[in-house]
Amino acid sequence: MIKKYLINEALVVLVPLLLIKFLLLNKLFLSISKSTILSKFVKESDKFLSELKRNCQLKPDC
């Protein structure tokens, strides 16, 4: 009986802590992946614009 009570109390304490930990790690992972995707997008757009500018400089009618 005491063992069952202690297990229940431990679950009451541990489950919210594990849930909070999971949500924080998930949020951290999402923010890292968003910043990585955003940096790749910025890098590719800079590359595209520089190539466009270079091509435009080669053509006199641009």
Q: Tokens 């790749």 appear where?
A: 40
Q: From CA 22, how far away is CA 52, in angstroms rounded?
A: 45
More confident position, 30 or 59:
30
**Using one digit for the tens of pLDDT, what is the confidence trace for 11-58?**
788 888 888 888 888 888 888 888 888 888 888 988 998 888 888 777
Q: Around 4, how many Cα atoms within 13 Å sit in the side-chain half-sphere?
A: 1
Query: pTM of this prediction?
Result: 0.46
Q: From CA 27, how far away is CA 34, in angstroms rounded?
A: 10
Q: Around 59, how many Cα atoms within 13 Å sit in the side-chain half-sphere?
A: 7
The two tokens of residue 50 are 């520089």
